[in-house]
């Protein structure tokens, strides 16, 4: 009776579901080498007994702020093992949105048995300092989405944490990392900015297509069954997510493609991801830039013929070269009994397609560095949907 559930756990494509989770921590952070080095530089004194660091990380959604801090904390603890006892805690200030709840959460993460009721802020901070001194440990506190706490409680807690070693013997008890989508330095008091250090601001840009490709590739290699995906499919996913530069979008697209591929399995299909698995069905697609098929209605006849040639190839393949375009354009012109336009005109059409976000181009080296060729793909449309509309429009023009 429950045969419809047989697909759950089948795993024709997906080997490890955890790898496609947004919160999964990769063994190595990819696509962010310069930013990692910049963050490490803010903590260059941490190897010394009284050293500490501070950083403010800002950037848009999906730019990797949280995973940057998470992997840094994990890696620095491993790097300094045997030289310094480093611990880390992360508090999401969207969930713990007052300064009191933030400190309670920090203490609970360090000592689950610590009482979190009936103590004042001063008593909580004193308990925190005593705990760290007793363990002879250095604590890195990561406050994620810190703007939520700042809006409700102000920045007094930051000031107290930054002064935790005052009037005490020794220094270097705590480091602090603040994470926010907003430029939080603009809302901090001068005294807090002075202690945090305005130069410790790390502003992260959205991921490039290459960065998104590295992320999707890492997840495919670690989470999918070998042979069920190709590098070209991964590149197409990255290009589709490239409009936003959002890593979560790339992971979501990969996960959705896996689900569609799994759904197609009926004992006769080869278990590997195809172009159609990457695109949402046109009748349920969320409207985004480039998602409206009507954007092609004002193309001239030969531009339509060139695009039709591309759609026919890209229905079954992830990319094609400009040479492929001209060869297939010739075939389509013969089909419609018209004379081809020149190479220069075709090239202008291709540039216009890219401007309209119909296609994406990428120049790659071939032949061991002896030449370069342009690869074209169609990450924002399902090629067969565009082909159907083009054939309808061309039919009207050639009546």
**pLDDT at position 290:** 41
- Strand-strand pairing, 371-377 and 320-321: antiparallel
Distance CA 328, CA 310 (A): 7
CATH class of segment(s) 32-203:
alpha beta
- Strand-strand pairing, 201-203 and 54-58: parallel
Using CA of residue 42, residue 44, residue 47, residue 50, what is the dihedral sign? negative
**pLDDT at position 109:** 93
- Residue 113 corresponds to which tokens in the numbers above? 């048995």
Using CA of residue 337, residue 341, residue 347, residue 350, what is the dihedral sign? negative
**pLDDT at position 225:** 93
- Sequence-distant (6+) residues with CB within 8 A of 15 are 223, 224, 225
**pLDDT at position 319:** 93
**pLDDT at position 289:** 41
Count the Cβ atoms, other than its own, within 10 Å of residue 50. 11
* Domain locations in the chain as residue ranges: 32-203, 209-278, 293-397
- Sequence-distant (6+) residues with CB within 8 A of 62 are 206, 207, 244, 245, 246, 247, 248, 249
Q: Is the CATH number of domain 293-397 1.10.10.10?
A: yes
**pLDDT at position 283:** 42
Distance CA 224, CA 123 (A): 50
**Residue burial 10-23, b: 16+ Cβ < 10 Å; e: rest:** eebbbeeeebbeee
**Residue burial 288-310, b: 16+ Cβ < 10 Å; e: rest:** eebeeeebbeebeebbbbbbbbb
**pLDDT at position 376:** 94
Query: 3-class SS at 372?
Result: strand
pTM, two decimals, is 0.84
The one-digit pLDDT tens for each residue of the chain (399 residues) are 455 555 555 578 999 999 999 989 999 999 899 999 999 999 999 999 889 999 999 999 999 999 999 999 999 999 999 899 999 999 999 999 899 999 999 999 999 888 767 788 888 998 998 888 888 889 999 999 999 999 999 999 999 999 888 766 667 789 999 999 988 888 889 989 988 988 999 999 999 999 999 999 999 999 999 999 999 999 999 999 999 999 999 999 999 999 999 888 776 677 889 999 998 654 434 334 444 788 899 999 999 999 999 999 999 899 999 999 999 999 999 999 999 999 999 999 999 999 999 999 998 766 555 667 899 999 999 999 999 999 999 998 887
> Regarding the domain delimited by 209-278, which CATH topology (the fold level of the hierarchy) does it fall under?
Helicase, Ruva Protein; domain 3 (1.10.8)
**pLDDT at position 1:** 44
**pLDDT at position 2:** 54
- Sequence-distant (6+) residues with CB within 8 A of 203 are 58, 59
**pLDDT at position 371:** 66
């Amino acid at each position: 009776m429950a045969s419809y559930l047989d697909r759950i756990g089948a795993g024709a494509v997906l080997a490890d579901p955890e790898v496609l989770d947004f919160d999964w921590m990769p063994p190595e952070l990819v696509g962010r080498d310069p930013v990692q080095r910049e963050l490490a530089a803010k903590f260059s004194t941490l190897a010394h007994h009284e050293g500490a660091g501070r950083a403010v990380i800002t950037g848009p959604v999906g730019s990797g702020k949280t995973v940057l801090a998470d992997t840094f904390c994990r890696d620095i603890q491993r790097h300094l093992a045997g030289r310094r006892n480093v611990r880390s805690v992360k508090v999401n200030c969207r969930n713990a949105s007052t300064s009191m709840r933030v400190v309670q959460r920090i203490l609970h993460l360090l000592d689950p048995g610590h009482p979190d009721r009936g103590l004042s802020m001063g008593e909580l901070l004193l308990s925190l300092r005593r705990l760290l001194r007793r363990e002879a440990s250095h604590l890195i506190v990561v406050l994620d989405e810190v703007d939520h706490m700042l809006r409700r409680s102000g920045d007094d807690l930051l000031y107290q944490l930054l002064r935790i070693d005052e009037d005490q013997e020794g220094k270097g008890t705590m480091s602090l990392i603040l994470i926010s989508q907003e430029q939080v330095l603009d809302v901090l008091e001068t005294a807090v900015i002075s202690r945090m250090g305005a130069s410790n601001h790390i502003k992260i840009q959205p991921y490039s297509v290459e960065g998104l490709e590295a992320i999707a590739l890492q997840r495919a290699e670690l989470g999918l069954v070998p042979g069920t995906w190709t590098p070209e499919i991964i590149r197409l996913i990255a290009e589709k997510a490239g409009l936003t530069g959002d890593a979560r979008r790339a992971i979501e697209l990969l996960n959705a493609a896996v689900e569609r591929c799994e759904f197609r399995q009926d004992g006769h299909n080869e278990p590997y991801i195809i172009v159609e698995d990457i695109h949402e069905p046109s009748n349920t697609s969320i409207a985004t830039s480039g998602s409206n098929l009507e954007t092609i209605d004002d193309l001239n006849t030969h531009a339509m013929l060139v695009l039709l040639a591309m759609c026919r190839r890209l229905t079954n393949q992830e990319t094609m070269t400009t040479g492929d375009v001209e060869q297939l354009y010739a075939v389509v012109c013969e089909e419609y009994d018209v004379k081809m336009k020149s190479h220069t005109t075709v090239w202008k059409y291709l540039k216009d397609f890219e401007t309209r976000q119909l296609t994406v181009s990428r120049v790659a080296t071939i032949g061991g560095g002896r030449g370069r060729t342009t690869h074209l793909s169609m990450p924002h449309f399902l090629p067969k949907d565009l082909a159907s509309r083009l054939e309808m429009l061309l039919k009207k023009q050639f009546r």
